A = this chain, B = another copy of it.
């Protein structure tokens, strides 16, 4: 029986992968993943066998990876960012249940961290991560989480703020946040992090409402103490005496 790895490869540039993730991708015989992610790393591992499925083929991809492991191959399922944050780790663990196959999760730098680094330090204090995709979650649950996160004064990171079919989700999310926090709250968007076309912009919550996010965007909403420092979005932890 082979071994299954769920490997987070970070935001895009292979330089942002951990040493361990790179070593495991070198070791395994088969690499599985969404073809958009595989395209980021295929040139580095030209001699591997690839299991390549489209975006919505998650269950099929897992099944193929599990079958390959049952036949004796070590398989790495790659995920962009971290394998456990909206990644494939949970589905892989669930589908491999009872099979006797060992599933090892290899963490990576998720967009909340890589986007934050690009912007400065927007999540320097307690934060919440919320996906605005309602493909797998009822929109009412998402609304409730947005409201609670704003009321609790969390910094908030929004994944999947928009897609072709869901153009207004970010606007609707901003409307909920605006009920609880001021329109001047410092916000930002990071796009194509560590990939071609990388871009970021700091703005207010009012401006964020009009921002046209896409599926390559990660959005940051500051807490009540977040401010702009030399163009960077910074949430203090409170170390400085003047702020404690």
Contacts and interface: CB of A to CB of B under 8 A. Distances in A.
Determine which residue in A6, A16, A19, A113 has the highest number of CB atoms from chain B within 10 A of its CB, and name it.
A113
Nearest to A122: B84
Given A97-B229, A126-B130, A86 B237 contact: yes
Interface in A113-136: 113-114, 116-118, 120-131, 136
A176 B241 CA distance: 29
A82 B113 contact: yes
A14 interface: yes
B84 A123 contact: yes
Interface of A: 6, 8, 10, 13-20, 22-23, 58-59, 82-87, 89-98, 103, 105-110, 113-114, 116-118, 120-131, 136-137, 141-142, 144-145, 147-149, 151-154, 229-230, 232, 234-241, 244
